[in-house]
A = this chain, B = another copy of it.
Amino acid sequence: MEILRAASRVFRRRGLGAAGMREIAEEADVSPGILYYYFSGKDEILLFCQERTLEHMLAAVEAARALPASSAERLRGVLQAHVHAMLDELEGATAHLEVEALPEELRAPVMEKRDRYERAVRALVAEGIKRGEFARADAALVTRAMLGAVNWSARWYRPDGPQTSAAIAQALSDYLVKGLLK
């Protein structure tokens, strides 16, 4: 949705605190009236951005599970989709996974999706261990390490930097899955 992309660009450029509804409306090329018709304020826009990002990532896990593939291939696919969801889909706004940026009363649905996503990735890791494809490991801890590594990319990625997000997604997922293999 174009309004969410525009809002992400403004959040990224100005920071969450300084971003305003007027500037988001301008960036999205809609009137402030239209923007307020859809969203009560910028917190609600951020909530939609975060939920959308997490829905992308949950869909990627579903898609990976449906593939007749090794656990390594599935996990690489999920991690690559995760990197893309953060760096491309919504203009790489670093705030998307930072639930603390939301007012407390809006956090519950994001935390629920985030926890569901983490459990789904952990299940892929556990599946690989059970199949004997991955070495024995603490699936919960390794999952958090992987998610930390990919989430952190939103902090250092620059759209005008030397590497494409696709190259970053591939290299990160290769490295992170390699540490699981026997």
Interface string of A113-145 (1 = CB under 8 A from B): 000000000000000000000000110011011
As for how many copies of this chain the complex holds, the number is 2
Q: Check A28 for interface membership: any CB of B closer than 8 A.
A: no
Using a Cβ–Cβ cut-off of 8 Å, how many residues does chain A contribute to the interface with B? 26
Q: Which residues of B contact A163 (CB under 8 A)?
A: 141
Q: Check A149 for interface membership: any CB of B closer than 8 A.
A: yes
Say whether, besides A145-B149, A145-B152, A153-B148, A178 and B175 are in contact (CB < 8 Å).
no
Which listed residue, B141, B172, B176, touches A172 by the CB 8 Å rule?
A: B141
Q: Are B141 and A152 in contact (CB under 8 A)?
A: no
Which listed residue, B138, B150, B152, B179, touches A176 by the CB 8 Å rule?
A: B179
Say whether, besides A149-B149, A171-B138, A156 and B144 are in contact (CB < 8 Å).
yes
Say whether, besides A149-B149, A151-B152, A152-B151, A175 and B144 are in contact (CB < 8 Å).
no
Say whether, besides A179-B175, A179-B176, A144 and B137 are in contact (CB < 8 Å).
no
Say whether, besides A176-B179, A179-B178, A147 and B152 are in contact (CB < 8 Å).
yes
Q: Check A19 for interface membership: any CB of B closer than 8 A.
A: no
Q: Check A3 for interface membership: any CB of B closer than 8 A.
A: no
* 16 examples of A-B residue contacts, CB within 8 angstroms: A141-B163, A141-B171, A141-B172, A145-B149, A145-B150, A145-B152, A145-B153, A145-B172, A145-B175, A148-B149, A148-B150, A148-B152, A149-B152, A151-B152, A177-B179, A179-B179
**Other contacts beyond A142-B171, A145-B152, A178-B178: 6, CB < 8 A:** A141-B168, A141-B172, A142-B175, A144-B149, A148-B150, A177-B179
